[in-house]
Amino acid sequence: MSLDKSKPAQTRDGRSVVIYTWDAPGQQPIHGRVDGVVAPFAWFADGRYYGGSNVCGMDLLNAPETVERWGIINASPTLFGYNTEDEARKAAGRMGNRSVIKCTFTDGKQTAVELVQP
């Protein structure tokens, strides 16, 4: 199991986590709070809640990274990609007869496509 300290963390069962420290003394150096739970938690350096090879819903994982990209498309079909909705809308206005779409990617995989402006 690998945990990147520079990225947001969550529990294996999907709850958000606030990390207080990554380097507390002792066997479980990661301390933090789990959404919906009052008591603080401690984890091993690799994010495991229990020792050994046990898998638990309270294990820490990096939260999935979600990225939105925008595009304009016409009936040809010709597709142009943009980093922001504003860029896509402006380009659609300049080129005319284009639809604006939003593409969502989670951990590098496309998870949704939405027609924003027909």
- pLDDT tens digits along 1-46: 678 889 899 999 999 999 999 999 999 999 999 998 889 999 999 9
In the structure, what pLDDT confidence band is assigned to residue 47 with cuts at 50, 70 and 90? Answer: very high
Q: Residue 118: pLDDT above 80?
A: no
What Rg value do the Cα atoms of the chain yield, rounded?
A: 21
Q: Residue 51: pLDDT above 80?
A: no
Write the DSSP symbol of residue 63: P
**Model pTM?**
0.64
Query: Contact at 8 Å (CB) between 98 and 92?
Result: yes
With left for phi above 0 and alpha for psi between -120 and 50, is residue 47 left, alpha or beta? left
33 - beta bridge partners?
Answer: 18
Looking at the chain, how many residues does it have? 118
Q: Residue 54: pLDDT above 70?
A: yes
Higher pLDDT, 22 or 78: 22
Q: What local confidence, expressed as pLDDT, does residue 77 receive?
A: 81
Query: Contact at 8 Å (CB) between 17 and 11?
Result: yes
Q: What is the mean pLDDT of residues 94-115?
A: 92
Percent of the chain with pLDDT over 70: 99
Write the DSSP symbol of residue 96: -
Query: Contact at 8 Å (CB) between 30 and 46?
Result: no
CA distances in angstroms from 20 to 36, 40, 60, 101, 102, listed in the order given: 16, 9, 13, 39, 35
Q: What is the mean pLDDT of residues 49-64?
A: 88
